[in-house]
Amino acid sequence: MARPGAACPPPARRLLAAARALLFWALVYGYCGLCACIAGLRLLWSIGRRPGETFRRTVRENPPACLNDPSLGTHCYVRIKDSGLRFHYVAAGERGKPLMLLLHGFPEFWYSWRHQLREFKSEYRVVALDLRGYGETDAPSHKENYKLDCLITDIKDILESLGYNKCVLIGHDWGGMIAWLVAICYPEMVTKLIVVNFPHPSVFTEYILRHPSQLIKSAYYFFFQMPWFPEFMFTVNDFKVLKSLFTSQATGIGRKGCRLTGEDIEAYLYVFSQPGALTGPINHYRNIFSCLPLQHHEVTMPTLLLWGERDAFMEVDMAEITRIYVKNHFRLTILSEASHWLQQDQPDIVNKLIWTFLKEETRKRE
Q: Catalytic amino acids?
A: 173, 285, 340
Task: Provide the 8-state DSSP code for 326.
Answer: B
Bridge-based pairing of strands 99-103 and 190-196 is: unpaired
d(CA 124, CA 117) in angstroms, rounded, equals 9
Q: In the chain, what's the furthest Cα-to-Cα distance?
A: 75
Contacts of residue 105, defined as CB under 8 A and 6 or more positions apart, other chains included, come to 112, 171, 172, 173, 174, 175, 176, 197, 198
CA–CA–CA angle 251, 252, 254 (5° rounding): 115
Sheet holding 125-129, edge to edge: 74-79, 86-92, 125-129, 99-103, 167-172, 190-196, 303-308, 330-335
**Helices 174-185 and 148-161 sit at what angle, rounded to 10 degrees?**
70
3-state secondary structure of 129: strand
Q: Label residues 177-189 b or e (16+ Cβ within 10 Å = b).
A: bbbbbbbbbbbeb
d(CA 29, CA 345) in angstroms, rounded, equals 34
The HSE-up count of residue 262 (CA atoms within 13 Å, CB side) is 0
Among 244, 243, 216, 252, smallest CA distance to 38 is for: 216
3-state secondary structure of 54: helix
Following DSSP, what letter does each residue of 71-106 receive, concatenated?
A: GG-EEEEEE-TTT--EEEEEEES-TTSPEEEEE--T
Alpha-carbon 190 to chain mean position: 18
